[in-house]
Amino acid sequence: MSFKRLDPEDVSISAESVVAPAWSGQLTTLGGSNFYTSSNQAGIGSGLYYYDIYQLAPTAVGSAVQFSIGYGNIYGSGSSPINPAVTSATPSSIIYGQYRTLVNGDENTNFIFGDTTPQSVFVISVNRARYKEKLLPGSFNLTLTNGGNTVKLTDNSKSVKTVSYVDAGRVFDIVSGSDGVP
């Protein structure tokens, strides 16, 4: 279990719950049109596995990793082997395996979304320093824009009748909508 010290700006609702905005600078929304990656990350090889995303240019004062994005494929498709002698060890197969084990607690149980068992997944990991205990249900909103196309995603926490649990804890589906409502 990891712990993070309380910051002076944190608000304590009770001895059992600590809340604070998730993003640097005590922001509740991480937005704008610019996010940044580090060219150093690609140079040292971890860019083959995932990208750390910053709210400011990585060399700027106050810049910090906000979240990471990774791609995983059960068969290793989409990336070259790390070692040509071990063709099954690719960055995408490692990402898939790490998150499968983290979420399911079992390296033999693949991801299942509804009735689908996907071969590929994209994962977003919010930096642990960005939140205290957990992300509150109904607080996850992600807007993806490509040109004139926009998709707004949220967790479905406010519309589910029965909560699902995996080894990592309580889970919700990511659906089109906002503030926990599809």
Secondary structure (DSSP) of 165-177: EETTEEE--EEES
If you count them, how many residues does the chain have? 182
| Residue-averaged pLDDT of the chain | 82
pLDDT of residue 74: 93
**What's the CA dihedral at 86, 91, 97, 102 to 10 degrees?**
140
Where the chain has pLDDT below 70, the residues are 1-3, 11-19, 31-33, 42-43, 45, 132
Q: What's the rounded Cα separation, in Å, for the pair 130 and 69?
A: 15
pLDDT of residue 12: 63
pLDDT of residue 134: 75
pLDDT of residue 2: 60
Share of the chain above pLDDT 70, in %: 88
